[in-house]
Structure 1
Amino acid sequence: MFGDDARMHAQAPKMAFSMEAQSMDIHDIQRRRVVAGLLAGGGLLASGTTDASPPRRAHHAPSRVGIAVVGLGEYAAFVLERLASCRTAYPAALVTGSKDKARAIAARYGIPDAAIHGYDDYARLADDETIVAVHICLPVGLHAQHALKALAAGKHVLCEKPLAATAAEARALADAARDAGKVLMPAYRAWFSDAVQDALGRCREGTHGALASVDAHKGFHLRQPAGNWRFDPALSGGGCLTDIGIYSVQLQRWACGGLPRSVTAVAHRRPGDARFAQVESDIGWVAQFDGGVLATGSASWRYRLQNRLRLGFEQAWLDLDPATPAMGERMRLGLDGPNRVEELMFPLRDQVPRMYEAFADACMGRSAPPVAASEGIADLVMMEAIRQAAASGTTVALPAG
């Protein structure tokens, strides 16, 4: 699927001269419906029984965490392929509003008919000991209510981004998870990118001197028709910023080690396009972080695929392009002594199975969640400030700490 990308990134990390990176993104992968080669080891689970017996699948080792996937849209199809390949987790159940649709999917992953649940069946999930956790893959406006139901049912929660529609909702979720003694982890697959972690390490360690600037952009040409949930703010929580701009927000915060001091922003709704009557089609912002770091960012549903990050250090620049695909990141370094551009190569590894396995380890108490709920809250705080700045035309100060 990735051509020269696959051959290049399959090597151990080493230095090479720069070559142009082909930009890829999870949405592009979904549209092309190409999944061959993305599974990071192992194949799909063989189809098992579909009778109505209780879901007690003895062929799974006790060390594997059974996860119920909540919502069966495009993204759920994407992650189910990867969940089925994990060593420490597996798809144990489906939660959906269409059981007919779910049966074909369940058969593919060996999920019995009795483990197909409706959105009002959390009491049944509570009684099923094979389900240790849920992964919420619903529209953003539904995250909080379903996460609260899952926590009340005694299940750990992996929740797609953003964690909730508002920072207040996300804080309430974090409180509920703490009170229940359960893991609440935002599904931030980009955290499990070797290239992203390498870049963040250079920021923390001052490898190239102090960080001076962060430039992050994410977007693509959205072809969904009017009526799609993304254009309904009650379901989506917002427009392109919420949907894909969160990646740029994450990268900026991670690189700078916290929230910005202030932001300014502009937003745009494409004229004459009914899809953007209530949500933005494009948004851009400038954020000021501690230490004088200036961060510029944007999100768009209108331009040709962009997925990039540039870090400006005192002694170097670093490009990730594409920055946050599910796999296949490209990193370039601009260095002096002599003046040169080098490319770092990383193993070609899908982030999603790694995210599931880290979440499973946290559910079993083997390690702390690598992405805390506080990360999801911080992203929402920054995105709310960006929206406020765009709406008011003013600079918005963020609370310290």
Structure 2
Amino acid sequence: MGTRREFVQKITASAVGLPILFNSTNLFADSGSFYDGPVLRVAIMGLGSYGTRVAEAMQSCKRAKLVGLISGTPAKITKWKAKYNVPDKNCYNYENFDRIKDNPDIDAVYVITPNGLHCEFTKRVALAGKHVICEKPMGINAREGQEMVDACKAANVKLLIGYRMHFEAKTLEIVQMSRAGEFGKIIFFQGQSGFIIGDPNQWRLNKKLSGGGAMMDIGIYSINGARYMIGEEPIWVTAQETKNDPVKFKEGIDETIQFQLGFPGGAVASCLSTYAVNHLDRFYLAGIDGWAEMQPSTGYGPIKARTHKGELTDPHITHQTVQMDEMAGIILENKEPFIPVDGEEGVKDMKIIDAIYNAVKTGKKVDLTRT
């Protein structure tokens, strides 16, 4: 591992900013470097807290630029277009954004609305002939996810899901170590994703808008993490739900779910998704020859990680900056990410979420090979 890690650290430290996306290592654009390649022109749809985070991060991007705004709140449009120097002609609301079809200045739309709107808006963006980046989860179930994939294929546009961790340096190093056999045969993964949610009237606790509770928001990190850390697709799932506050967490809104995934190679994942406990953000991967731990594992950073060989020291760069630059390469230059972020990847997670809810409801093990 020493030679590989030295290579990663050396090239990250001394050659950041190269306009190249490597499959096996994650290179980042440096704010002081020169880039003279294609730029993805992006409109953000949904100007809430996460949309704000993405917009701020994009100010440091080299391959992606914020050029358009879509919102149902006129006051936000006014504020954002002044702050980010977005022209009036690139600003839309949810009723008229189909007009982007006739706007050659926008290449892609990043859909960052409540989950329940992802499917409809993605299909409309695709019909307008623009590429789609959709925040996770891609929909409220696998059926919606597949509809989104089909719509984008029919329109000949790309569909990417906002899996920012797929480009995070420490995450990639551990996945590379696992695939190189440095942990030996993988036997166990543990994922813990949780925080205490606040305002009971927010959209995340509205079944129609969210599609569920903690599982749809943060539980998906453990599902996705188990898949890319183990390097296989699960073949069965079991799950158990605990709900201590049925007033806050109404029917269809899960408070806490423990779930287990079985993999064809024999590995088992044991995961927890909750809106009732703070500071749960940990991945643990164990093989017969070694282990890796990440804590925090999926927060906005910096991520902390160590293995049986020592602490990982890859530098932290804002996740959304790296994500948008890398996605620009995928869309404009057909680059292949080391961990997929396409619509099909999103559907795989949605099928598992559907199966988890089914396992909770029936109390039975669900065979994922039949989904």
Q: Residue in 2 aligned with 1:371?
A: 341
Once the two structures are TM-superposed, the CA of residue 366 in structure 1 deviates from its matched residue by: 4.4
Which has more radius of gyration?
1
Q: Residue in 1 aligned with 2:99?
A: 124
% of aligned pairs identical? 29
Q: Does structure 1 retain, via aligned residues, the 8 Å contact 2:29–2:62?
A: no
TM-score (norm 2): 0.87
Secondary structure of 1:274 counterpart: coil
Q: Residue in 1 aligned with 2:25?
A: none
Residue from 293, 315, 318 that aligns with 1:347? 315
Once the two structures are TM-superposed, the CA of residue 357 in structure 1 deviates from its matched residue by: 1.3
Whole-Å Cα distance in 1 between the matches of residues 335 and 248 of structure 2? Answer: 47
Q: Residue in 2 aligned with 1:362?
A: 330
The superposition leaves residues 84-120 of structure 1 with CA deviations (integer Å, 9 ceiling, x where unpaired) of 2211111111101111221111111011223220101
Q: Which amino acid aligns with 1:197?
A: L
Q: Residue in 2 aligned with 1:384?
A: 354
Equivalent residues in 2 for 1:161-240 (5 A)? 161-223=136-198, 225-240=199-214
The answer to whether 1:111 aligns with 2:86 is yes
Unaligned runs of 5+ in 2: 1-7, 11-27
Residue from 41, 47, 70 that aligns with 1:72? 47
Q: After alignment, is 343-352 or 240-249 more displaced?
A: 343-352
Q: After alignment, is 357-366 or 319-328 more displaced?
A: 357-366
TM-score (norm 1): 0.81
Q: CA RMSD in A?
A: 2.2
The structure-2 alpha-carbon separation of the partners of 1:213 and 1:261, relative to structure 1 and needing over 3 Å to count, comes to same
Residue from 343, 365, 368 that aligns with 1:395? 365
Report how many residues are paired.
343
The structure-2 alpha-carbon separation of the partners of 1:399 and 1:272, relative to structure 1 and needing over 3 Å to count, comes to closer
Once the two structures are TM-superposed, the CA of residue 392 in structure 1 deviates from its matched residue by: 1.1
The structure-2 alpha-carbon separation of the partners of 1:222 and 1:154, relative to structure 1 and needing over 3 Å to count, comes to same
Q: Residue in 1 aligned with 2:23?
A: none
The answer to whether 1:253 aligns with 2:227 is yes
Once the two structures are TM-superposed, the CA of residue 153 in structure 1 deviates from its matched residue by: 0.3
The superposition leaves residues 281-311 of structure 1 with CA deviations (integer Å, 9 ceiling, x where unpaired) of 1111111111110100011111121111000
Q: Does structure 2 retain, via aligned residues, the 8 Å contact 1:240–1:282?
A: yes
Residue from 104, 110, 117 that aligns with 1:135? 110
Whole-Å Cα distance in 2 between the matches of residues 114 and 100 of structure 1? Answer: 16
Equivalent residues in 2 for 1:75-90 (5 A)? 75-90=50-65
Secondary structure of 1:85 counterpart: coil
Whole-Å Cα distance in 2 between the matches of residues 227 and 326 of structure 1? Answer: 25
Whole-Å Cα distance in 2 between the matches of residues 256 and 349 of structure 1? Answer: 25
Q: After alignment, is 62-71 or 140-149 more displaced?
A: 62-71
Q: Which amino acid aligns with 1:346?
A: D
Whole-Å Cα distance in 2 between the matches of residues 127 and 156 of structure 1? Answer: 14
Q: Which amino acid aligns with 2:262?
A: Q
Q: Does structure 2 retain, via aligned residues, the 8 Å contact 1:266–1:283?
A: yes
